[in-house]
Amino acid sequence: MISKSKNASLSTILPVDSFKELTAPASNAAKRLLDCIFEREIDGELVRVRIVETEAYDQTDAASHSYKGRSQRTDIMFGPAGYLYVYFTYGMHYCANVVVGEAGYGAAVLIRAVEPLGNEGLLERRRGGKSGIELTNGPAKLCQALGINKQLNGHNLREAPLRLVLAPQLSSEAIVTTRRVGISQAKDVLWRFYVKDNSFVSVK
């Protein structure tokens, strides 16, 4: 039971929701998420990975699932920041996004690549024997490696079995900005970001 102190201010008692830093536009949050950590519990084991490549998608952007408004599929994108949006694509693959921005604004950041921080044996098994950068250097690859599927759509990233832990903002000199991958609308928008010189980045 937490008792209320007479003297302590409210801000020292209540935990700060760090996900409020994931503000719109989605491009802002996409840069903010570089270098941040996912902690995934799977098969009773813990795997930590570092985000090294992201893409921004928001409702002002023709390439975004949220562009044409809320639907059954995109509903989670219009919720508050800090939840997972998982979609299925090309008949085979899942892709993972972090919902960003205020509730009511449809925005999310696609996680395109992560760098494993230990326990790579588990990832290798889930990836059918692949190893090294092939474990997680693509949006569907990292979902397979981390066991992310539609069951985790709408998951709160403050909770097990998949937590997002924010790291300090990466310096702008360490971030490369480019066009997004695999889209046909809004091709020239520079909303893809990755950690400079990181070998896990999917497309250089």
**Residues within the interface to DNA (CB under 7 A):** 55, 57, 63-66, 68, 71-74, 77, 85, 87-93, 95, 97, 108, 110, 127, 130, 134, 138-141, 180-185, 202
Q: C-beta of 52: minimal distance to DNA in Å? A: 13
Task: State which residue, 173 or 188, has the beta carbon closest to DNA.
Answer: 188
Q: C-beta of 108: minimal distance to DNA in Å? A: 5
Query: Across the strands, what pairs with 49?
Result: 38, 116
Task: State which residue, 172 or 195, has the beta carbon closest to DNA.
Answer: 195
Task: State which residue, 19 or 180, has the beta carbon closest to DNA.
Answer: 180
The backbone torsions φ and ψ at residue 120, rounded to the nearest 5 degrees and listed phi first, read -70, -20
Kindly state the tokens that stand for 144: 């397979």
85, HSE (Cβ side, Cα atoms, 13 Å): 28
How many angstroms separate the first and last alpha carbons of the chain?
A: 52
Q: C-beta of 95: minimal distance to DNA in Å? A: 5
Q: C-beta of 114: minimal distance to DNA in Å? A: 11
Q: How far apart are CA 59 and CA 83, in angstroms?
A: 17
Task: State which residue, 13 or 187, has the beta carbon closest to DNA.
Answer: 187
Burial of 91 (0-12, 13-18, 19+ CB in 10 A): exposed
